[in-house]
Amino acid sequence: MAMLSMPISLPTPTPSSFRRVNRFKGMTFASLSSETTSVGVKVTEGEGKLPKVVLTSSQGSEADIYLYGGCITSWRVPNGKDLLFVRPDAVFNKKKPISGGLPHCFPQFGPGQIQQHGFARNMDWSIIDSENVEGNPVVTLELKDEPYSRSMWDFSFQALFKVILKTNSLSTELVITNTDNKPFSFSTALHSYFRASVTGASVRGLKGCKTLNKEPDPENPLEGKEESFVSNLIIFMDVVTFPGFVDCIYLDAPNELHLDNGLGDTISIKNTNWTDAVLWNPHLQMEACYKDFVCVENAKIGTQQLEPGQSWTATQLLSVE
């Protein structure tokens, strides 16, 4: 694909309102010779010279989103804390997905008929819309099928990912639309990495959920319920902690969980239409960093079928309590 050699410039927004449509296909960026700025939305050069979008609210919170993978890699609240985590082994060279932040799993969560966690996290997304609403920046990214995706999943689709940054919250909306002439099914998740002290981190809100525990055997998850399941998950008073390797799916999870990251922050994780939740920490499989993060993921584990023209929408709201 041809590369752009000219700097990218955007129209200057008016003081009274700001809304625009820009189609930036991530893989068209060879490099950015100058920063692109607007009201609370800036497209600049990130790690590995990959284009990233920086959102800045009027109260000083910030978020970074890489167009490669449509991945939110940072969410910094006004006190300067970054509540997301990117692994030290993460690479920004398009040879593999970005390991950390909020990567997309689509159209497949986990292993299956195509590559692990699908292809959305290692494709280039486009900016199709951005605006600033009362000091809160908003950006919408788009992913469509192309030969790479069709080589493993032969369907036409559109994925829209809307990100809204406020003073103490980060919200997302994912819309999957079947643009094909035949039905398709998919599963999906936001593989959310939160900065944490693993020995002090805990999650509330999962009491009573049916569990699929992958810790004994990843290929044959052990079914159970959150009250009775112990193994490497210690459960006490509706609190789940991370004392060892953890890889557990919670089916029909509630629409709000609370993560105590063990670093002094409690994060509310609300959602609509993400039916399941996943907790993960690799423990000694990633000895260099496992103590510094936990994954608390909103997911759609069971397959969702869409007829031609139909859409599926799910939202997530992260906020600091």
User: Model confidence over 167-211: pLDDT tens digits?
Assistant: 999 999 999 999 999 999 999 999 999 999 999 999 999 999 999
CB contact at 8 A, 22 and 127: yes
Answer whether residue 26 is part of any domain.
Answer: no
Residue 297 annotated among the catalytic residues of the structure: yes
> Cβ atoms within 10 A of the Cβ of 95, count?
8
Q: Tell me whether residue 283 is one of the annotated catalytic residues.
A: no
Give yes or no for residue 268 having a pLDDT over 90.
yes
Number of domains in the chain: 1
Evaluate whether 239 touches 266 at the Cβ level (below 8 Å).
no
Widest distance between CA atoms in the chain: 60
pLDDT at position 233 is 56
Domain membership of residue 51 (yes or no) is yes
Average pLDDT over residues 136-157: 98
Residue range 253-267: mean pLDDT, rounded: 98
pTM of this structure: 0.87
> Do 183 and 149 contact (CB within 8 A), yes or no?
no
What CATH number is attached to the domain comprising 68?
A: 2.70.98.10
Query: Which of the following is catalytic: 131, 297, 307, 321?
Result: 297
Residue 288 lies in a domain: yes
Q: What is the pLDDT of residue 226?
A: 72
Q: What is the mean pLDDT of residues 148-174?
A: 98
- Catalytic residue of the set 104, 117, 191, 226: 191
Within-domain flag for 78: yes
Q: Which residue has the higher pLDDT, 317 or 226?
A: 317
Give pLDDT, residue 224.
Answer: 83
Q: DSSP code of 19?
A: E
Residue whose C-alpha is closest to residue 159's, from 131, 133, 124: 124
Is residue 34 in some structural domain?
no
Overall average pLDDT of the 307-313 stretch: 98
Give the percent of the chain with pLDDT over 70: 84
Q: Does a structural domain hold residue 123?
A: yes
